[in-house]
């Protein structure tokens, strides 16, 4: 099994009633934390309404994150392309690529919130077609094609070319995918990666086995190639030292996230509020086909490996940043994933366990070493006399060789 990359996806979903200034600063602190822990990617979204999602410009946020980090790749997750002139999107991504020293990624989508589309006066029926059209133009601009003119019913370009090209030879791109085939189809059409956001719901998980086939079919139709290594599957998790501790910590915000946001704000059909956090945990994390992991590192390890089997293989496990727990416990959760989950699923610990077991099983090597040390001690009359008196109790050598007495 190939090694996974791990990353984070910040919508963000923040509990209302707090300072947005401090929320944004805390989000920047998280990116810096993830960079230190060795996460591979960080994605940040674009939203303009609901009161829960407070970042309107992922490029601006990621530029700030670039100043605090040095290794983690930074992606728009996502730019809602129908809300923007494609030339501006390309320009901003090029600037982000240079400011981040070649770490920019472009995630695109049609726009997730109907309230945003309403604000811009855009008919939801045209969103996906406009995303598709914009991607084609942005790719031409980023590739440095000779000046070209493009006209359509919602934007136009005249003798267009970027005056600065990306620092990278090619900026990685990914299309957001929910449950319908459209996101995967767009990814396949352009040979891009995919961000499977729908995997955070039971319905999304059930659709995953066929999702990659949509990308492959579209790629074949348009003469492109898609790579599962660029398929990013989303997970919703909170990890602690024990399941009981994890359940206790999500009392901070899990119930509010479900009842106030998913049910109260988005008013998703068929989704009912829960009476208690215990009920929410049982339905969201413990039920058959549940989409969330609230528990221990072992629980998340099992879920990632199961998802790999369900999907047929993907390249990046992306954790959704939520406010289920307090800021301190959320930071700790990401730390535990880096310490225990990532090295386990990537096979980094197997050789260490084998080395440990080898030493336990082959005490004869220690016995030889003990005899060698003891012989040297007994060759010196004063050392031998002292050894007979005190042995090696408390001596530094005891931990390795442990001769306990002189005959």
Distance separating alpha carbons of residues 319 and 334, to the nearest angstrom: 9
Count of residues making up the chain: 407
Are 83 and 49 a contacting pair, CB within 8 Å? Answer: no
Are 227 and 191 a contacting pair, CB within 8 Å? Answer: no
Backbone angles phi, psi at 83, to 5 degrees: -90, 0
Backbone angles phi, psi at 92, to 5 degrees: -65, -40
| DSSP track, 148-174 | EEEE-SS-EEEEE--SS--SSSS--EE
The domains of the chain are located at 5-352, 362-399
Q: What angle do CA 376, 377, 378 make, to 5 degrees?
A: 95
Count CB-CB contacts under 10 A for residue 207.
20
Query: What six digits make up the tokens of 170?
Result: 């090619």
pLDDT of residue 371: 84
CA 397 to chain centre: 45
pLDDT of residue 394: 45
pLDDT of residue 380: 87
Distance separating alpha carbons of residues 54 and 61, to the nearest angstrom: 11
The CATH topology of domain 5-352 is TIM Barrel (3.20.20)
SS3 74: strand
Q: What angle do CA 25, 27, 30 make, to 5 degrees?
A: 115
The CA-based diameter of the chain, rounded to the nearest angstrom, is: 99
Query: What six digits make up the tokens of 214?
Result: 């949509």
Task: State in Å, rounded, how far the first CA of the chain is from the last one.
Answer: 54
Are 370 and 69 a contacting pair, CB within 8 Å? Answer: no
Per-residue pLDDT of the chain (407 residues; tens, 9 = 90+): 789 999 999 999 999 999 999 999 999 999 999 999 999 999 999 999 999 999 999 999 999 999 999 999 999 999 999 999 999 999 999 999 999 999 999 999 999 899 999 999 999 999 999 999 999 999 999 999 999 999 999 999 999 999 999 999 999 999 999 888 999 999 999 999 999 997 777 777 778 888 999 999 999 999 999 999 999 999 999 999 999 999 999 999 999 999 999 999 999 999 999 999 999 999 999 988 788 999 999 999 999 999 999 899 999 999 999 999 999 999 999 999 999 999 999 999 999 999 999 999 998 887 888 888 888 888 888 888 877 776 554 444 454 545 454 44
| DSSP track, 253-312 | THHHIIIIIIIIIS--TT----SSHHHHHIIIIISTT--EEEE-HHHHHHHHHHHHHHHT
pLDDT of residue 372: 84
pTM beyond 0.95: the answer is no
Peptide bond into 12 cis (omega under 30): yes
| DSSP track, 112-130 | S-HHHHHHHT--GGGHHHH
pLDDT of residue 391: 58
> In which element (H, E) is residue 22 found?
helix 20-37
């Amino acid at each position: 099994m190939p090694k996974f990359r791990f990353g984070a996806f910040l919508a963000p979903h923040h509990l209302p009633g707090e300072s947005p200034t401090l929320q944004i600063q805390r989000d920047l602190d998280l990116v810096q934390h993830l960079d230190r822990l060795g996460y591979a990617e960080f994605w940040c979204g674009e939203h303009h309404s609901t009161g829960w999602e407070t970042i309107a410009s992922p490029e601006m946020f990621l530029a700030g994150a670039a100043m605090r980090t040095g290794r983690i790749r930074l992606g728009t997750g996502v730019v809602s392309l129908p809300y923007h002139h494609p030339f501006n999107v390309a320009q901003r991504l090029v600037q982000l690529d240079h400011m981040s020293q070649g770490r920019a990624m472009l995630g695109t989508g049609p726009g997730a919130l109907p309230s945003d589309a309403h604000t811009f006066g855009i008919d939801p029926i045209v969103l996906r077609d406009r995303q598709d059209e914009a991607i084609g133009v942005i790719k031409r601009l980023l590739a440095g094609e000779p000046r070209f003119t493009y006209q359509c019913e919602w934007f136009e370009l005249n003798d267009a070319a970027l005056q600065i090209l990306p620092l990278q030879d090619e900026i990685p791109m990914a299309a957001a995918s929910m449950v319908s085939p459209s996101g995967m189809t767009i990814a396949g059409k352009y040979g891009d990666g995919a961000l499977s956001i729908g995997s955070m719901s039971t319905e999304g998980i059930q659709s995953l086995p066929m999702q990659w086939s949509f990308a492959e079919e579209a790629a074949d139709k348009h003469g492109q190639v898609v790579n599962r290594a660029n398929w990013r599957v989303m997970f919703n998790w909170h990890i602690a030292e024990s399941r009981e501790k994890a359940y206790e910590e999500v009392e901070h915000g899990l119930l509010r996230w479900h009842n106030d946001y998913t049910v109260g704000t988005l008013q998703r059909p068929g989704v009912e509020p829960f009476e208690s956090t215990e009920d929410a945990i049982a339905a969201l994390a413990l039920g058959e086909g549940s989409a969330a992991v609230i528990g221990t590192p072992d629980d998340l390890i099992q879920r990632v490996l199961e998802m790999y089997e369900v999907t047929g293989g993907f390249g990046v496990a992306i954790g959704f940043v939520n406010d289920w727990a307090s800021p301190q416990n959320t930071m700790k959760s990401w730390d535990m994933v880096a310490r225990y989950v990532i090295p386990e699923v990537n096979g980094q610990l197997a050789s260490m366990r084998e080395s440990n077991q080898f030493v336990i099983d082959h005490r004869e090597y220690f016995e030889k070493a003990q005899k060698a040390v003891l012989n040297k001690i007994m060759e010196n009359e004063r050392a031998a006399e002292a050894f007979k008196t005190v042995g090696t109790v408390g001596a530094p050598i005891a931990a390795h060789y442990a001769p306990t007495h002189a005959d």
